[in-house]
Amino acid sequence: MQNSGIENIIKAFPQLLDGIFVTLTISLIALILSIILGFMVGVLMTLKNRLLQGVLRILLEAFRLIHPIIWLFIFFFGAAYVFNINTSDIGVSIVVFTLWGTFETADLVRSFVTSLPKSQYESSAAIGLSRPQMYIFVLLPQVVVRTTPSIVNLATRLIKTTTLVYLIGVSEVLKVSQNIIQLTYLRNPKSYISFTMYLILLIIYFIICYPLSLFAKYLEKKVAA
């Protein structure tokens, strides 16, 4: 136990909690903004405007195919270079993961809206609903129900993927953990702190993400029923 480094982790536990709070804060803000913007963009993707669809499709593929690390570096260093400003690491993290989540959500919304039967469009027109009213009162309520399990899964992915923000200096849980490891090695080079610390991180992420995974499966069954 002496070389496990557990005593150092216990002493630094408040900092570890702060790191967890930062991780969850970034994830939660990005998720909320992603849902709001994702539904708006998803609706725009269903409009019969080739130019708009083309632009949104390019952005969708860009955020889907290019790794979030690259986007973090582009926004963090690129914004500082182009606009000659001091960029906020947490602000950039929220922007990048909001955009990533937005286009993930938008594609879900688009696919569900386009999969709805044409009879619903025709019925809405027959009772005199305008296109915005049709989306608000007929289509989107159904889409909300059908996309909820996928959005819960997106929340899990955001929590896991936001660990990448330590690369631009955000003191989230992984960054704090690495600082604890480095300080412990300086005091005791024979310590097994790396194994202990990452094992604790594994448990923390499991405790956070597993209930969300179960909730998503529960919702999937409810939606399918």
pLDDT by position in tens, the chain (length 225): 567 778 888 898 999 999 999 999 999 999 999 999 999 999 999 888 899 999 999 999 999 899 999 999 999 998 878 877 788 899 999 999 999 999 999 999 999 888 888 888 778 878 888 888 888 888 888 888 889 999 999 999 999 999 999 999 898 999 999 999 999 888 888 888 899 999 999 999 999 999 999 999 999 888 876
Asked whether the whole model's pTM tops 0.85, one would answer yes
Amino acid at 14: P
Decide: helix, strand or coil at residue 188. Answer: coil
Task: Go through the domains of the chain in sequence order and give each one's CATH number.
Answer: 6-224 (1.10.3720.10)
Contact assessment for residue 160 and residue 150, using Cβ atoms and an 8 Å cutoff: no
Distance in angstroms (rounded) separating the CA atoms of residues 199 and 149: 29
Query: What tokens appear for 117 in the block?
Result: 């039967």
| C-alpha distance across the termini of the chain, in Å | 51
